[in-house]
Chain A
Amino acid sequence: MPAALFVLALILPFIVREFWVHVLNEILILGLFALSFNMIFGYMGQLSFGHAAYYGVGAYTTGLLMVKANWPLFVTLPISMVTAGICALILGYFCVRLRGIYFAILTMAFGQLVFYIIFQWYSFTGGDNGLQGINPPAWLFKTNPYYFFTLVVVTIGAIILWFISESPFGYTMRTIRDNTERTEFIGINVQRYMLINFVIAGMFAGLAGAIWGPFNRSVAPDLCSWQHSGGPVFMAILGGPHYFLGPMLGSVIYTLLNAFVTGYTEYWPLVSGTVIIIVVLLLPGGVLGVYKEKFGHLKSKESTTLEHGGS
């Protein structure tokens, strides 16, 4: 199934108009962002409402290095992962001490902290003007080449995340989600494992942010704001947080809807808000969750729940 999707993603740009290639590109980047968020939410069972901070740090790292130091994109991508990871390590160190609503609020407070630092630090980040002129190298400059570049990076990122989620480490995460106390009793250092996972999630959010900057040719502090943190939360829940590719499916639906709706009306928040309410009330478990319940023939390996996920 994922292989078929990959082939479809390879063929689509030759069929659809340029506008939709742009949309596809956005789907992939936000999809990787949502996948990284789901490492914390779907696998570890904690709700981060400040995940956009790491996305923003990644975007700004690449943006600043490319605009101010003229570094090539291929060098700035791994550096962005490192800076976002360091940021996640420092902030996550405190977050993993909390659970539930407190975890959500602390991640949000830290997210806003990062947002205000970027927003206020005019001399370095350009403040609310953002950074303009983040141009990808010449051979990636056109829409299609950059799309394929994104496709390769996002696919590699997703495969790495998939292997992490299916590794013993990934199963430890599920154990922590399902019963934190027992996990502690069997001698696992829960906080350390949660922190490692938090850093991994931050790094891949940073990677997604890093490819966003050159795609959009600019970055703005809004990328880190709490409104932007709501995006991956909704994508994960829309697609199905208990399936590895659920958040990516959520990104497909959400971003396509955005592209359609903004063509007709400026009231996108009104539409998206209504969709969020309908999905949360009527589709518990997301699209994949409901699909599985109705038809029940999704391969059990794709599920992240312990009962179905055994190999």
Chain B
Amino acid sequence: MEFSFIFSQFLSGLTYGMILFLVASGLSLIFGVMNILNFAHATLWLIGAYFCYSFWYLMQGYNFALWVSIPLAGFACAAVGWVTEIVLIKHIYKRELHEQLLITYALALIFADLIKIVWGPTDRLIARPPAIQKPVFIFGAPFDSYFIFVILAGFAVALGLWWFLKYTRYGHIVKAAVFSREMVGALGIPIPKIYTWVFTLGIFIAGFAGGVQAPIGSVNFGMDIAIIIQAFCVVVIGGFGSLLGTLVGAIIVGEVFSFAILYWPAGAMVLIFVITAAILIIRPWGLFGTPMRT
């Protein structure tokens, strides 16, 4: 097999991995800080994609329409996430695991139906601006030029989150809350407020990821169902609450998928679940996580 082909396959895998990272990083953040496994995360990601489509539709004709719509989708989703946290999620932090899971599972059902009500069941397609219509050639192999943007966006968010957690006051608070929320509360930091903003930030990233996803293909109903499970796999492989782990996990899943589909298309997803199960059995806290406090 030619090198150029392998390289372009690698980049496709990386692109897919970056989408997964964008979805999974918010999932992992929310789980790490609040111990809530958000089933509705990918549905909010899909809402982000639809938001992006709608914003783009309103600004159609302008070259910048898409580039403005993507972050706007993030903000619109963040608003939805903020309201959801205040109205519902706030009340389930102290509930039992199965109750939390059922509530976010119910949210996934509700949001999916809201998408159907607002945007209807038809597929939505964003016409790409000229800058990303033509493929680029890397070592002679054609490659979707938008994918370059996806990869850059993924790494930018990873860097941004890393900087936020490492160098800002709020990042330190979030990291401390992962470790011991009682202690952080005892220091006089309003935990409920922090929780609201962490949830909102997680959903912002999900919405932004949806916006990034939107121009890749058509946006259609039900895309969230496969993605949420893969995002769980990413978080499990990388380790709950670990940013680096989520990035590595996402790239692993993206690349495994991208190369497995060449040799054994039917088995690509199966392989990912086998890897996930193996990690859970051997090292339940994931490659980069730490054993959880219970």
A112 pairs with B273, CB closer than 8 A:
yes
What per-residue 1/0 map shows which CB atoms of A198-236 lie under 8 Å from chain B?
A: 000000000000000000000000000111001001100
A135 sits at the interface (CB 8 A): no
CA gap between A109 and B270 in the complex, in Å: 10
A113 pairs with B91, CB closer than 8 A:
no
A277 sits at the interface (CB 8 A): yes
CA gap between A135 and B101 in the complex, in Å: 37
A273 sits at the interface (CB 8 A): yes
Asked if A269 meets B110 with Cβ closer than 8 Å, knowing A120-B267, A227-B225, the reply is yes
B37 pairs with A120, CB closer than 8 A:
no
Residues in chain A near residue B106, CB distance under 8 A = 272-274, 276-277, 280
Residues in chain A near residue B171, CB distance under 8 A = none
Q: Chain B's nearest CB lies how many Å from the CB of A251?
A: 16
Q: Which of B114, B117, B273, B281 contacts A94 (CB 8 A)?
A: B281
CA gap between A50 and B117 in the complex, in Å: 29
B88 sits at the interface (CB 8 A): yes
Interface stretch, picked from A21-29, A96-104, A296-304, is A96-104
A243 sits at the interface (CB 8 A): no
A277 pairs with B97, CB closer than 8 A:
no
What per-residue 1/0 map shows which CB atoms of A93-124 lie under 8 Å from chain B?
A: 01001101110111011101100110011100
Residue ID in chain A nearest B240 by CB atoms? A101
Residue ID in chain A nearest B225 by CB atoms? A227
CA gap between A270 and B294 in the complex, in Å: 33
Residues in chain A near residue B270, CB distance under 8 A = 113, 116-117, 120
Asked if A234 meets B109 with Cβ closer than 8 Å, knowing A94-B277, A116-B269, the reply is no
Residues in chain B near residue A14, CB distance under 8 A = none
Residues in chain B near residue A237, CB distance under 8 A = 98-99, 102
Asked if A109 meets B113 with Cβ closer than 8 Å, knowing A101-B97, A104-B97, A233-B98, the reply is no
A267 sits at the interface (CB 8 A): yes
CA gap between A270 and B43 in the complex, in Å: 13
Residues in chain A near residue B91, CB distance under 8 A = 281
Residue ID in chain A nearest B281 by CB atoms? A94
Residues in chain B near residue A106, CB distance under 8 A = 277, 280-281
A273 pairs with B107, CB closer than 8 A:
yes
A267 pairs with B105, CB closer than 8 A:
no
Q: Chain B's nearest CB lies how many Å from the CB of A103?
A: 9
B112 pairs with A269, CB closer than 8 A:
yes
B105 pairs with A230, CB closer than 8 A:
yes
B233 sits at the interface (CB 8 A): yes
* Interface of chain B: mostly helix, strand, loop or mixed: helix
A84 sits at the interface (CB 8 A): no
CA gap between A89 and B294 in the complex, in Å: 27
Q: Chain B's nearest CB lies how many Å from the CB of A145?
A: 35
Residue ID in chain B nearest A117 by CB atoms? B270
Q: Chain B's nearest CB lies how many Å from the CB of A290?
A: 15
Residues in chain B near residue A234, CB distance under 8 A = 102
Residues in chain A near residue B16, CB distance under 8 A = none
Q: Which of A120, A267, A280, A284 contacts B269 (CB 8 A)?
A: A120
Residues in chain B near residue A225, CB distance under 8 A = 225
CA gap between A225 and B228 in the complex, in Å: 12
Q: Which of B105, B225, B274 contacts A276 (CB 8 A)?
A: B105
A131 sits at the interface (CB 8 A): no
Q: Which of A47, A226, A272, A284 contacts B97 (CB 8 A)?
A: A47
A41 sits at the interface (CB 8 A): yes
Q: Which residues, 246 to 263 on B, are CB-close (under 8 Å) to A?
A: none
A47 pairs with B117, CB closer than 8 A:
no
Residue ID in chain A nearest B266 by CB atoms? A120
B232 pairs with A100, CB closer than 8 A:
no
CA gap between A274 and B88 in the complex, in Å: 11
CA gap between A116 and B284 in the complex, in Å: 23
B103 sits at the interface (CB 8 A): yes
Asked if A109 meets B280 with Cβ closer than 8 Å, knowing A49-B101, A104-B97, A273-B107, the reply is yes
B99 pairs with A280, CB closer than 8 A:
yes
Asked if A276 meets B98 with Cβ closer than 8 Å, knowing A105-B232, A269-B110, the reply is no
B109 pairs with A102, CB closer than 8 A:
no
Q: Which residues, 55 to 69 on A, are CB-close (under 8 Å) to B?
A: none
CA gap between A233 and B105 in the complex, in Å: 11
What per-residue 1/0 map shows which CB atoms of A41-79 lie under 8 Å from chain B?
A: 100000101000000000000000000000000000000
CA gap between A98 and B276 in the complex, in Å: 14
Asked if A267 meets B97 with Cβ closer than 8 Å, knowing A105-B236, A110-B273, A120-B266, the reply is no
CA gap between A112 and B227 in the complex, in Å: 12
Residue ID in chain B nearest A99 by CB atoms? B294
CA gap between A122 and B266 in the complex, in Å: 9
What per-residue 1/0 map shows which CB atoms of B116-146 lie under 8 Å from chain A?
A: 1100000000000000000000000000000
B98 pairs with A109, CB closer than 8 A:
no
Known contacts A104-B37, A113-B273; 4 further A-B pairs (Cβ under 8 A): A113-B270, A230-B102, A267-B113, A276-B109
Task: Report, nearest first, the 3 A-B pairs whose CB atoms are least far apart.
Answer: A273-B109, A270-B113, A276-B106
18 contacts between A and B (CB under 8 A): A47-B97, A47-B98, A47-B101, A49-B101, A94-B280, A101-B37, A102-B284, A105-B236, A105-B280, A120-B270, A233-B98, A234-B102, A273-B107, A274-B110, A276-B102, A276-B106, A280-B102, A281-B92
